Amino acid sequence: MLASLLLDECLKAGIDFFTGVPDSFLKGLCDELYGRYGTDGPHHIVAHNEGGAVGLCAGHYLASGRPALCYMQNSGLGNAVNPLASLMDPQVYALPCLLVIGWRGEPGTKDEPQHVKQGAVTLPQLDLLGIPYRILSGDTEEESFLLDFAFLLSVLAEGKIAALVVRKGALSSSLKPVYGNNATMTREEAVETILHAVPPGDIFVCTTGKLSREVFEIRVRDGQSHEKDFLTVGSMGHASMIALRISEEKPDRHVWCLDGDGALMMHLGGLPLIGRRQPRNLVHVVFNNGAHETVGGMPVCSGALEIPGLARSAGYPLVLEADTVPSLHDQVIRINAVSGTGPIMMVIRCACGARGNLGRPTTTPIQNRDAFMEFLNHS
């Protein structure tokens, strides 16, 4: 079904504000929103995380009396539970909101390991929260959708939250916005530069998405095993906290956190915590392409925020930047030379996009965990 039909029906119903965090299953909706409204106008905001998006919906309803649409992957439902239950719920402020949720890991479908549990509990979680829902599939007829949408509107009219759960391939768009930036170095080139320039005993914690997949494939190309790398395949925004605690438990080991700008924005509170703890062996690398590239390319919510300045104000004693392979190589060599003076922040400006044939890890998360723990504790 075209996402334009969903948006048109929303507008007819007075739902004219849209916010959320992009998801690959909702790419048609995200493309439609970006093509119509961009991200800097009054009708559409890409939020830092799903809970914040629900807060925006609350503010919109309080100011206008009109419900908003909040989109997210089902993994983001966890971030949204607190405001949904303690703010929006009919037993609290009764603030209506239409959730549009990408159903990753739907039972009976093939998906990545981090989505299996989330997919299994998506509908029970909505039931537990008392949120009525309808499911949108690729074969949903327009007439059937309009009936379901009318039901969801009736729920909103009662001051309640309603949800449209979207299966893979259910939403498409005729709009094909161009996402990207003017950077020339690819993320994979940057990752490879780092991995090739560090000592063999260094530890890596990698954020979710294509970055972890690139790390895995580079190790394969180099004929290396994967025990040095913890691939945080889920839990967007939490890689830095995993790396922080590892660095404190292993103070004589160099720990690199390979993070994304969207993941960083999702839980910015981690920066001052790292700055206060002052882990001398931690290098926090942020790949800044300005986009939620893994799930389609929509811009992140950073706006005019300068990540290097933010890191300095949070207490990182050394902040470095790079935007070419030679400059990055030089900075990594510098980091190696001043090992033990962290936390160090490295902000890498890189292009959007990844190889079309980029594969996925061939080991399971449990295998990754066991090999990584063996490397940490016995090497």
Q: Read off the pLDDT of residues 294-304 as tens digits, 9 standing for 90 and up.
A: 787 788 876 66
Whether the Cβ atoms of residue 276 and residue 192 lie closer than 8 Å to each other = no
Segment 127-139 mean pLDDT: 97
Segment 312-324 mean pLDDT: 97
pLDDT at 99: 98
pLDDT at 179: 84
Whether the Cβ atoms of residue 294 and residue 23 lie closer than 8 Å to each other = no
Taking only the tens place, the pLDDT of each residue in 48-93 is 999 999 999 999 999 999 999 999 999 999 999 999 999 999 999 9
pLDDT at 79: 93
Q: What's the CA gap between 337 and 339, in Å, rounded? A: 6
Domains and CATH numbers, the chain: 3-166 (3.40.50.970), 187-378 (3.40.50.970)
Residue 186 has pLDDT above 70, yes or no: yes
DSSP-based three-state secondary structure for 345? strand
Segment 152-169 mean pLDDT: 98
Chain-centroid distance, C-alpha 60? 24
Taking only the tens place, the pLDDT of each residue in 256-306 is 999 999 999 999 999 999 999 999 999 999 999 988 887 877 888 766 679
- The 3-class SS string of 126-159 reads HHHHCCCEEEECCCCCHHHHHHHHHHHHHHHHCC
Integer angstrom CA distances of residue 103 from 23, 44, 284, 323, 374: 10, 22, 32, 36, 35
pLDDT at 303: 64
Q: Mention every residue, 6+ apart, whose C-beta is less than 8 A from residue 190.
A: 287, 322, 325, 328, 348, 350
Interior/surface letters 341-369, b for 16+ CB within 10 angstroms, e for the rest: ebbbbbbbbbbbbbeeeeeebeeebeebe
Q: Determine what percent of the chain is predicted with pLDDT higher than 90.
A: 85
Instruction: Specify the residue for token string 């900075």.
Output: 331
pLDDT at 298: 81
pLDDT at 304: 61
Tokens of 175: 């709009």
pLDDT at 1: 84
Residue 180 has pLDDT above 90, yes or no: no
Closest to 177 measured CA to CA, from 89, 273, 46: 46
pLDDT at 300: 84
Taking only the tens place, the pLDDT of each residue in 306-317 is 999 999 999 999
Taking only the tens place, the pLDDT of each residue in 335-364 is 999 888 889 999 999 999 888 898 899 999
Tokens of 268: 């910015």
Q: Evaluate the CA torsion angle 203, 256, 179, 67 in order and state its sign.
A: positive
Segment 318-337 mean pLDDT: 96
pLDDT at 302: 66
Beta strands at 229-231 and 203-206: parallel, antiparallel or unpaired: parallel
- Average model confidence (pLDDT) across the chain: 94
Instruction: Specify the residue for token string 């983001």.
Output: 76
DSSP-based three-state secondary structure for 5? helix
Q: 265 — phi, psi (to 5°)?
A: -65, -30
pLDDT at 53: 97
